[in-house]
Structure 1
Amino acid sequence: MNQKQSRKGKSEKTKERRAALKAERAKLAAGRFLVKQANSIPDPLEKFPTFQKYERNGLSCTLSCKKVKDLAPETLEWAIELCSTNMKAMYEKSSGGWRAWEKREEMSEDAAWYLIAYDTNSQKPIAFSHFRFDMDFGDEVLYCYELQLEKEYQKKGLGKFMMQVLELMAFSNQMLKVVLTVFKHNPDAMTFYEKCKYEVDETSPEDNFDETFDYSILSKLNKMKPTQKTSL
């Protein structure tokens, strides 16, 4: 190969890298726009009236979706306390431990959304999901931070229904996937999400000789949306 051909080859590779970088930036910009658009909707559940009720297995519930700033203070306190009741022991078994102040801060951040189920008869909250529309490793996602149910309302199909509602809101707003984190030492949760057709996400850390991880990242892809990965 002569010098001229060598320069031409390098020039072509430079053009390819620039084109790839331009495509990645365009994808990120498009994803951020979709996230911003989803977060600007007052109520992402409003256009799905049939998913605002759950009446099965002896339960009668209504569901609502609000930003954290629109939640009644007592409802947020209930959610934080339920999370502690259900998850404190699991966190204490993890490498990170349980930090009540950190969890409260996370659940109170402006970016937080809440999907809440209320008992139709008592009007009391009985289950919630804390989620966010966000960018995750360059992808536009709905990230499910928490799905917690009062003990007496568990194993009646409500949790699965609420995950379906999250997926509906995610995919109708063109998110690429729904993502969540689950402790490996929480077999009931792992089994539940597997039954909901969630799989280990490509961003989930893998154990190696230097480090082991006590959690997995799971996800479900929006099958109506083509996947375009970014290296950023």
Structure 2
Amino acid sequence: MGRKSNKGKEKKKRRKEEQAKLAASFTLVEAANKQEDPMATMAPFKKYERNGLNLDIECKKVAELDKDTVDWAFSITKNNMQTLYEESNWGWNDRLKKEELTEDKAWFLVARDQEGQPTAFSHFRFDMDEEEEVLYCYEIQLMKTARRKGLGKFMMQILQLLANKAQMLKVMVTVFKMNTESRDFFLKALKFELDETDPGLCDPMEADEYCYEILSKKTVLGAKKQQEGNHCCSGGPHNHPQCC
């Protein structure tokens, strides 16, 4: 019986390396979700005192939030988003949205006024997306009285810092194409870009059939790894493997 080919050995080695990388990614996500208070070392970001707002900001798992806050989060999400959902091909479903907001992995960033009443929130998760460790922002919703005062941008900055701290590779969001205000907020104000997993990029011939876009912004670690990957590939940036 002859020796195993070098090609077979290399393939086996690559498979082991990929498995080890994936296991390391899951470990990072698990560690991020085990945090008691992700903002414990971020005291300056626990207050927002600008443009007539005086708010305290907290970060908690959904299981640690009181029922009134969770109910309020659902209510403001429904008020702000139901029409957009109904105009899309997704449709609105109370039960599914409540389940999404209260899923075990859900984290909440909540801004409260001096009476303790919630003014804004973000629902996010530390998770895996296409074998990459990410912070995925599911919602960022503000009361009308708190809009256009820098609060939304400040809260997204906190999420970016939390993603950096937990060694995630990027922050991701999904936006409706018709929601031009939200798209401008992420693309222009926050400098997000179309993610490589965006359906319009992966399926350009049918791009108009999708009512949403997937946007992302690299963390410090994510940008570093992307740069290292580009340097080792003589043909320029890597192709989008998810689209192939």
TM-score, with structure 2 as normaliser: 0.87
Matched, 1:96 2:90: yes
What is aligned with 1:149?
Answer: 142
What is aligned with 1:46?
Answer: 40
Aligned residues: 224
Secondary structure of the structure 1 residue equivalent to 2:85: helix
Where is the helix percentage greater, Structure 1 or Structure 2? 2
What is aligned with 1:34?
Answer: 28
Matched, 1:66 2:39: no
| Uncovered stretches (5+) of structure 1, i.e. residues with no partner | 1-6
Pick from 116, 122, 133: which aligns with 1:123? 116
| One-letter amino acid of the counterpart of residue 214, structure 1 | C
State the Cα deviation string for residues 28-59 of structure 1 (Å, max 9, x = none): 11110000001111110111000001111111
Pick from 218, 222, 226: which aligns with 2:219? 222
1:134/1:140 contact within 8 Å kept: yes
2:112/2:119 contact within 8 Å kept: yes
What is aligned with 1:19?
Answer: 13
Q: What is the deviation of 1:100? A: 1.1
| Uncovered stretches (5+) of structure 2, i.e. residues with no partner | 230-237
State the Cα deviation string for residues 79-116 of structure 1 (Å, max 9, x = none): 00000000001101111111111000110111100000
Q: Provide the rounded CA distance (Å) in 2 between the counterparts of 1:223 and 1:109.
A: 28
Secondary structure of the structure 1 residue equivalent to 2:25: helix
Secondary structure of the structure 2 residue equivalent to 1:55: strand
Matched, 1:106 2:97: no
Aligned residues with identical type, % of pairs: 48
What is aligned with 1:162?
Answer: 155
TM-score, with structure 1 as normaliser: 0.91
Q: What is the deviation of 1:67? A: 0.4
| One-letter amino acid of the counterpart of residue 192, structure 1 | F
1:200/1:217 contact within 8 Å kept: yes
| One-letter amino acid of the counterpart of residue 170, structure 1 | A
Q: Provide the rounded CA distance (Å) in 2 between the counterparts of 1:19 and 1:68.
A: 41
Secondary structure of the structure 2 residue equivalent to 1:60: strand
Secondary structure of the structure 2 residue equivalent to 1:44: coil
2:57/2:109 contact within 8 Å kept: yes
For the aligned residue pairs, the C-alpha RMSD in angstroms reads: 2.0
Q: Provide the rounded CA distance (Å) in 1 between the counterparts of 2:206 and 2:80.
A: 31
1:24/1:231 contact within 8 Å kept: no
| One-letter amino acid of the counterpart of residue 175, structure 1 | M
Q: Provide the rounded CA distance (Å) in 1 between the counterparts of 2:204 and 2:136.
A: 26
Q: What is the deviation of 1:209? A: 4.1
| One-letter amino acid of the counterpart of residue 38, structure 1 | A
Q: Provide the rounded CA distance (Å) in 2 between the counterparts of 1:79 and 1:111.
A: 16
**Which deviates further from its counterpart, 185-194 or 211-220?**
211-220
